[in-house]
C-alpha cells in the first residue's frame, strides 16, 4: 500500500484488506447469532455495497437485501442535511427483523434519517450494524448493535467509501494525509529547562510529547519489570541503559495516531539516536532538528540545588549534581555531533525568563524546513 492521490488530495494507507475481512466475518457471525430469522438487511448506498456483498458471503442464514440511497457528504465534509434518493417499499419492512448495514457511522445524521423512515414502516425489530464507527464524532443517542471496527474521526476512502465519487473501488482503506508536523529532540544538560519548555511547545504547537523522565516515573510507580530495572540505575545517579529506555519508548512511537514528536531526554547516547532514526523511519518520518538549550554550568548547579529542595528528587546535593553533569558531558554530549553531521543541530541560549527562552525556541522552529518538503 502506497500513498495515493484522489482529485486534489493525498491519502495514505490506513486499514489493510486483511483487517477489513476479519471485521466483516466477525460482524456476519455476530448478526447471525443475535438476530431472529429471517433478516432483512437494509443496505445504505452507495458506500455499503461492497461491505454488504462481502458480509452476504459469510452470513449463513436466510436473508433478504433491500437498498436505501441517501446523500449527506460533499467532498470531505458532511453537510448535516440528509436526502433520500432511493426509498424502500413498506411491504419489505413491515413486521420484519431489520438490520441496517452502514459502511461508516460518524455524526449519526444519516443514521437518524434512516431510522426515522424505517420506524414509519413498522418493522418487528430494528438493529444497526456498521463496519466502521467514529465514536468521537457520533452525536446521537441510538445504540449501535454491531460494530466492525472503531476508528478515530478521520476522513477515509476505499472499500466503498469515496471522495467526491472516486476511491470506492480501492480494496483497502486510506485516510486523508495530514500536513506533516515537525519532529525534534529537545536537548541540554540537567537543569536546562527542557521539561518546562517542552510542555509549553507541546501546547502551543499541538505536538506529541515524549519525556523519558515521565516514562521512568510511570514504570517505577507501577512497578513494571522495566521500572524496577530503571530504578536501580536512577537511584545511583547513573544513566538508564539503552535497551531499557528504548523498550519504554517503542510503544509510544509506534502509535499510528501520534503526530509531531518532541523528545525530551531521548536520545541520550549516539546508539539511542541511531535507534530513534530507525523507529521514525518505520513511520515514514525523520527527526527534523535537535534543539540544544545552552546554560552555563554554574547556573545549572544553582537551579538543580533549588529544585532539589522542593521536588524530593535525588539531585539535592552538589556531589550528585556534578556526577550527573559529568555523565552528560561524557556520554550524552556526543549526540550533538551525530545531529551536526546531519545538519540538524541548533543551539538556543537558555539563560533568561521562561518566556524569553520559549520565544527563542519558537523562532528557530519557525525557520526549520521539514526534511520531506
- Comparing 63-67, 119-123, 223-227, the range with the smallest average pLDDT is 223-227
Give the model's pLDDT for residue 293. 96
Q: 212 pLDDT band (50/70/90 cuts)?
A: confident
Among this protein's residues, is 69 annotated catalytic?
A: no
Residue 79 predicted with pLDDT over 80:
no
Report d(CA 49, CA 258) in Å as an integer. 32
What percent of the chain is predicted at pLDDT more than 70?
A: 94
Report d(CA 69, CA 85) in Å as an integer. 5
Q: Find the CATH number of the domain harbouring 49.
A: 3.40.50.2020
Looking at the 3D structure of the chain, how many domains does it have? Answer: 2
Comparing CA positions, the residue from 279, 276, 257 lying closest to residue 267 is 276
Domain end point (choices 124, 153, 176):
176
Report d(CA 213, CA 198) in Å as an integer. 12
Asked whether residue 373 is assigned to any structural domain, the reply reads no
Dihedral in degrees, nearest 10, Cα atoms 128, 131, 134, 135: 50
Among this protein's residues, is 268 annotated catalytic?
A: yes
**Other Cβ atoms closer than 10 A to 81:** 10
Q: 137 pLDDT band (50/70/90 cuts)?
A: very high
Give the model's pLDDT for residue 349. 96
From 313, 322, 360, 371, active-site residue: 313
Give the model's pLDDT for residue 27. 97
Domain end point (choices 147, 176, 205):
176
Among this protein's residues, is 194 annotated catalytic?
A: yes
Give the model's pLDDT for residue 74. 55
312-344 pLDDT, tens digit each: 555 567 888 888 888 888 888 899 999 999 999
Among this protein's residues, is 259 annotated catalytic?
A: no
From 307, 322, 331, 371, active-site residue: 307
Among this protein's residues, is 168 annotated catalytic?
A: no
**How high is the mean pLDDT of the chain?**
89
Q: Are residues 153 and 277 in the same domain?
A: no
Asked whether residue 372 is assigned to any structural domain, the reply reads no
Indicate if the alpha-carbon torsion angle 107, 113, 118, 122 is positive or negative: positive
- How distant, in Å, are the alpha carbons of 105, 115, 120, 134, 339 from that of 140? 10, 12, 19, 12, 50
Report d(CA 283, CA 163) in Å as an integer. 25
336 burial (CB, 10 Å; 0-12 / 13-18 / 19+) is middle
Residue 128 predicted with pLDDT over 70:
yes
DSSP, residue by residue, 130-164: EEEE-TTT----PPPSEEEEE--S--EEBTTB-BT
Residues forming beta bridges with residue 326, ordered by sequence position: none
Residue 22 predicted with pLDDT over 60:
yes
What percent of the chain is predicted at pLDDT more than 90?
A: 60
DSSP, residue by residue, 83-149: EEEE---GGGTTTSEEEEEEEEESSSHHHHHHHHHHHHT--SEEEEEEEEE-TTT----PPPSEEEE
Contact (Cβ atoms closer than 8 angstroms) between residue 151 and residue 142: no
Give the model's pLDDT for residue 129. 98
- Comparing 49-63, 109-123, 276-290, the range with the smallest average pLDDT is 276-290
From 46, 121, 194, 344, active-site residue: 194
Q: Which three cell numbers stand for residue 167?
A: 476511491
Domain end point (choices 123, 158, 176):
176
When pLDDT is averaged across residues 241-259 and rounded to a whole number, the result is 81
Q: Which residues span the domain enclosing 172?
A: 4-176
Amino acid at each position: 500500500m502506497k500513498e495515493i492521490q484522489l482529485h486534489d488530495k493525498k491519502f495514505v494507507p490506513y486499514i489493510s484488506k486483511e483487517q477489513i475481512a476479519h471485521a466483516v466475518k466477525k460482524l456476519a457471525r455476530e448478526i447471525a447469532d443475535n438476530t431472529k430469522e429471517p433478516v432483512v438487511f437494509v443496505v445504505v448506498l452507495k458506500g455499503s455495497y461492497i461491505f454488504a456483498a462481502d458480509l452476504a458471503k459469510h452470513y449463513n442464514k436466510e436473508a433478504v437485501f433491500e437498498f436505501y440511497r441517501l446523500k449527506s457528504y460533499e467532498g470531505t465534509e458532511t453537510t448535516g442535511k440528509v436526502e433520500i434518493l432511493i426509498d424502500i417499499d413498506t411491504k419489505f419492512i413491515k413486521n420484519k427483523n431489520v438490520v441496517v448495514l452502514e459502511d461508516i457511522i460518524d455524526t449519526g445524521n444519516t443514521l437518524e434519517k434512516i431510522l426515522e423512515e424505517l420506524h414509519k414502516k413498522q418493522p418487528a425489530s430494528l438493529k444497526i450494524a456498521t463496519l466502521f464507527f467514529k465514536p468521537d464524532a457520533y452525536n446521537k443517542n441510538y445504540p449501535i448493535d454491531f460494530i466492525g471496527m472503531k476508528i478515530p474521526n478521520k476522513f477515509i476512502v476505499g472499500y466503498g467509501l469515496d471522495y467526491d465519487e472516486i476511491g470506492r473501488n480501492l480494496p483497502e482503506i486510506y485516510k486523508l494525509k495530514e500536513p506533516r508536523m515537525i519532529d525534534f529532540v529537545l536537548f541540554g544538560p540537567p537543569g536546562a529547562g527542557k521539561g518546562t519548555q517542552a510542555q509549553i511547545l507541546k501546547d502551543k504547537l499541538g505536538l506529541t510529547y515524549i519525556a523519558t523522565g515521565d516514562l521512568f516515573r510511570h514504570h517505577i510507580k507501577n512497578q513494571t519489570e522495566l521500572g524496577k530495572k530503571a530504578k536501580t540505575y536512577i537511584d545511583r545517579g547513573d544513566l538508564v541503559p539503552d535497551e531499557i529506555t528504548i523498550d519504554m519508548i517503542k510503544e509510544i512511537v509506534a502509535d499510528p495516531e501520534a503526530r509531531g514528536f518532541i523528545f525530551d531526554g531521548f536520545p541520550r547516547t549516539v546508539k539511542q539516536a541511531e535507534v530513534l532514526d530507525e523507529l521514525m523511519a518505520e513511520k515514514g518520518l525523520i527527526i527534523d532538528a535537535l534543539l540544544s538549550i545552552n546554560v552555563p554550568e554554574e547556573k545549572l548547579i544553582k537551579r538543580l540545588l533549588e529544585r532539589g529542595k522542593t521536588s524530593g528528587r535525588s539531585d539535592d546535593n552538589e556531589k550528585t549534581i556534578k556526577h550527573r553533569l559529568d555523565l552528560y558531558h561524557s556520554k550524552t554530549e556526543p549526540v550533538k555531533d551525530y545531529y551536526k553531521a546531519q545538519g540538524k543541530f541548533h543551539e538556543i541560549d537558555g539563560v533568561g525568563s521562561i518566556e524569553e527562552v520559549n520565544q527563542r525556541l519558537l523562532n528557530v522552529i519557525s525557520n526549520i524546513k521539514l526534511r520531506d518538503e
